[in-house]
Structure 1
């Protein structure tokens, strides 16, 4: 069905169920219902309903009529249909950030949709720095320009304007983002966390030799009542902007940085470090050989560009 593009067509699923002969597999008494009358045929119909469930297809009244006519009211396919009709309407509108049914095929529209979903602020503004196009060079070769779409909120602009120019900013990525079966990659512009001068060191009295050990027990509580858990506080630097592009090289990302300098002139005096990963690769012997060090010919992972 995915090969022919009909995996989300409800009418096709009803046609598949209509292939079963009518009133042949239905149980005539409670003993046949108890011993799973015609099990292979019921398993086949349940598999069809499970595929509808995996693709999010809600059955209709015709599906119910076919199941009752083929297997009866006490069969496993009919019970599967009842469960689908019970849970699907309840979970249909529970997601506050629903994904559109049709993912846009245009890379600019897709990047705009993805950036708006992961933006921290609803007032964030999407800017298209470059549209996909083809340019003919002087030597007759054709150069393709990929799309470049960025997003930045007013709070991020003010945060970047107050950044210390002596401290570098980092361009990191690519980071994956999945929308249904579509995977896209985005890049972030951030800075390292600034250590607080007024932060006092927290001393654990139970693990310090300079303080007396104390034991505080609540006798009314059982050991099974302790539902607390440890959380590691990881300090992360501020995120100034995000972007999506079809080519994650330094030249394209440098164009993004130059576009951000219009709203934040502090970037003209701030060093920019590119911390780019190689992205996803296919695992195998060839990939393992590529990951071996090449000596002096290996390029460094981090490059610095001062503007």
Structure 2
């Protein structure tokens, strides 16, 4: 079925199930029901249903009625199908990052979905699409999908002059059965002061025995008692300042990305930018210097095989 491209087609599975004769395999007593009446035929349809489940094909009412007419309500395929009909829609709609059932074929549209999904950790994330043809001296004529929030711009503006930031990638994100490569702009994690480290090691945040409140005539909290909650972008291994997906995944397209970021992040011109090949975030594939032949969409998208 996969060879002919019908392994995710519900109608093709219905045609296969409809081959079996109706009524012949329905058990007529408790012994036939218990000892799996016509085991080979029942196992055959169970295997078909297993393949449907593996390929994410959810059965409908017509499929249920077909299996019911062939094996009866006590048949093992009927029980298997009804478990699928109960659980598969639940898991299908469980993800908070909903995707269209059919992923578009355009690399640009896939990049938009990926950046939107990764940026959903911060509701204020803004997605921008740049064209490198708008820049002078840009070698690659391609698009760049950028994701950055106002909070990330503030973090970038607070970095000290000559501080090093890293362009890392390519990392891979999967959207259903399609993958695409993305890059990040990262700075080193902010080290804790000695007082903060001491407070983190000694203070028990679950201890509520010494809570103070002005309503009971007690003194107000001092400044050192106030702990600023770090943003979602500030992680232990670094601060994520921006994410991007380029059409070619080349180093020139990443340079163009940095030049576009400088327009909204002036402090970026005062920083040292390093294109890193080693990252604490995981395995990194370096950006290529030129375009590679395009690969099949289900293997890689983004224009290069990294």
TM-score tier after normalising by the smaller chain length:
0.7 to 0.9
Distance 2:4 2:141 in 1: 33
1:177 corresponds to which residue?
A: 173
277, 285, 288: which one pairs with 1:278? 285
Superposed CA RMSD in Å reads 2.5
Q: Is the 8 A contact 1:107 1:147 kept in 2?
A: no
Distance 1:189 1:238 in 2: 8
1:42 corresponds to which residue?
A: 42
How do residues 1-307 of structure 1 correspond to structure 2 at under 5 angstroms? 1-119=1-119, 120-130=121-131, 145-198=141-194, 199-201=196-198, 235-276=236-277, 277-278=284-285
**Structure 1 residue 112, shift from structure 2 partner:** 0.9
Structure 1 unaligned blocks of 5 or more? 133-142, 206-233, 281-307
195-204 or 113-122, which deviates more: 195-204
Question: 1:3-50 CA distances to partner (integer Å, 9 max, x unpaired)?
Answer: 222222222111110111222222232222222111111111011112
**Structure 1 residue 121, shift from structure 2 partner:** 1.6
Which segments of structure 1 move beyond 6 Å, counting only runs of 4 or more? 202-205
SS where residue 238 of structure 1 aligns?
strand
Q: Could you say which structure has the larger radius of gyration?
A: 1
Structure 2 unaligned blocks of 5 or more? 134-138, 203-234, 278-283, 288-306
Distance 2:109 2:236 in 1: 33
Question: 1:57-94 CA distances to partner (integer Å, 9 max, x unpaired)?
Answer: 22222212221221122110011122122223433433
191-200 or 154-163, which deviates more: 191-200
Distance 2:76 2:128 in 1: 53
Judging changes above 3 Å, is the alpha-carbon distance between structure 1 residues 253 and 76 closer, same or farther for their aligned structure 2 residues?
A: same
SS where residue 128 of structure 2 aligns?
strand
Judging changes above 3 Å, is the alpha-carbon distance between structure 1 residues 204 and 165 closer, same or farther for their aligned structure 2 residues?
A: closer
Q: Is the 8 A contact 1:130 1:149 kept in 2?
A: no
Question: 1:93-123 CA distances to partner (integer Å, 9 max, x unpaired)?
Answer: 3322222101121111111110110113222
Distance 1:204 1:70 in 2: 66
Q: Is the 8 A contact 1:108 1:131 kept in 2?
A: no
Distance 1:171 1:31 in 2: 68
Length-normalised TM-score, structure 1: 0.72
Relative to its length, the structure with more helix (as a share) is 2
SS where residue 190 of structure 1 aligns?
strand
| Larger RCO (alpha carbons 8 Å, 6+ apart) | 2
Judging changes above 3 Å, is the alpha-carbon distance between structure 1 residues 194 and 95 closer, same or farther for their aligned structure 2 residues?
A: closer
Distance 2:169 2:61 in 1: 48
**Structure 1 residue 236, shift from structure 2 partner:** 2.4
Distance 1:24 1:130 in 2: 65
Distance 1:159 1:204 in 2: 26
Q: Is the 8 A contact 1:170 1:191 kept in 2?
A: yes
Judging changes above 3 Å, is the alpha-carbon distance between structure 1 residues 151 and 204 closer, same or farther for their aligned structure 2 residues?
A: closer
SS where residue 56 of structure 1 aligns?
coil
**Structure 1 residue 166, shift from structure 2 partner:** 2.1
